[in-house]
Chains A and B, each alone.
Chain A
Amino acid sequence: MAHTSAPTAPDSARAAFFAGAKATIPLVVGALPFGIIFGTLSSAGGLSAWGALAMSAFVFAGSAQFIAVGLLAAGSSVPIIILTTFVVNLRHLLYSASLIPHLKHLPQRWLAPLAFWLTDETFAVVVNHFSAHPNHRHNRWYYLGSALTMYLSWQVWTLLGITVGQSIPDAAGWGLDVAMPVTFIGMTIPYLKNRPMWVSVLVAGAVSVLAHPLPNKLGMMLAAVAGIGAGLAAESRRKPEVTG
């Protein structure tokens, strides 16, 4: 932890890897309560301890896992849970589209694992870095550093949840799931730099509430798409010479 985050791009693969890992640490802290609740709720949902660990290892999608155990507890069928997972994770399609300009030159042996490890957290960390250092040759290592930090910590947090979490009375009732929205608030604030961004976020927020009754979390995607459209509309209304 001796080095400070330099404004210049990392000059080696190793430095890029650790810079990516370091930038992800606050998000690892934010994911801790969430992993513990997942581990705690999984048995209530009827998932075995091995099932919970396997889900974190093979699916690796916090909010979808969280929703899946909730649906299991409510008695939903496997196809319904898989369909919901699909809709909840559709946002990753938008994430991967945003990253393509930065990763398109990479071979599939890099793209497949980087895709597997794509999360909200790693996306937010790497898209910032890639925008600041476009086409830098060590960017893949930065992504890998962030991804592995998130992945390994998620496995540990899940294990903590199914061991320690289940021995704490009513750990799931403490409302520690608040960690996710507050983490995401911290991730959103740096984007709020101009009027179109504010417009897009306000519209996305309003639609997310109005569309919340839609099944399978469809409202989330609808809100994101509406927000993107509103941002673009606000952008085109601005005079071209005015900069954000």
Chain B
Amino acid sequence: MKEVWLIGGMMAVTFAIRYTLFAASGQLEFPAPLARALKYVPPTVLTAIIVPSILMPHGTLDLSPQNAYLAAGVAAGAVGWWRKNLLLTILSGMAAFLLWQWLW
């Protein structure tokens, strides 16, 4: 029973967030400054997820060379910048992570 409440509640809040603006989209008219702001949404939201994941993998700041998450992030950043290929970027980051864990 607890699972039904949990999943039902998570589903309700998630769908509400995803659908509210879509549902009202016919009536919405965005002012130009807001439209300008929205182009920063993808990179800033993604960065806000990326940075704590790789710099604070266990909840506190870890800038040591033993931090395999940081090594993975550096490798993915370098390969991504160099080759502009998403799949290659993902695989390089994961390979660097596994290599780092094995090395240290």
Which positions 54-104 of chain B face chain A at CB distance < 8 Å? 54-57, 61, 68-69, 72-73, 75-77, 80-81, 84, 86-87, 89-94, 97, 101
Contact A185-B80, Cβ < 8 Å, known A29-B87, A92-B18, A115-B19: yes
Report whether B21 and A97 are in contact in the complex, using a CB–CB cutoff of 8 Å: yes
Which positions 29-63 of chain B face chain A at CB distance < 8 Å? 30, 33-57, 61
Q: Which residues of chain A are within 8 angstroms of B91 by Cβ–Cβ distance?
A: 29
Contact A85-B13, Cβ < 8 Å, known A181-B73, A189-B80: yes
Range for the number of chain A residues in contact with chain B: 35 or more
> In the complex, what distance in Å separates the CA atom of A178 from the CA atom of B54?
8
Which positions 1-29 of chain B face chain A at CB distance < 8 Å? 2-3, 5-11, 13-15, 17-23, 25-26, 28
Q: Which residues of chain B are within 8 angstroms of A243 by Cβ–Cβ distance?
A: none
Which of A's residues lie within 8 Å of B, judged by CB? 25-27, 29-30, 33, 47-48, 50-51, 54-55, 58-61, 63-65, 68, 72, 78-79, 81-82, 85-86, 89-101, 103-104, 106, 108, 111-112, 114-116, 118, 120, 123-124, 127, 174-192, 196-197, 200-201, 204-209, 212, 219-221, 223-224, 227-228, 231-232, 235
- 28 examples of A-B residue contacts, CB within 8 angstroms: A26-B87, A51-B7, A59-B14, A82-B13, A92-B18, A96-B20, A98-B39, A100-B21, A111-B23, A115-B18, A120-B49, A175-B69, A177-B53, A178-B54, A178-B97, A181-B50, A182-B73, A184-B47, A184-B50, A185-B93, A187-B42, A188-B43, A188-B47, A200-B43, A201-B44, A220-B52, A224-B44, A232-B40
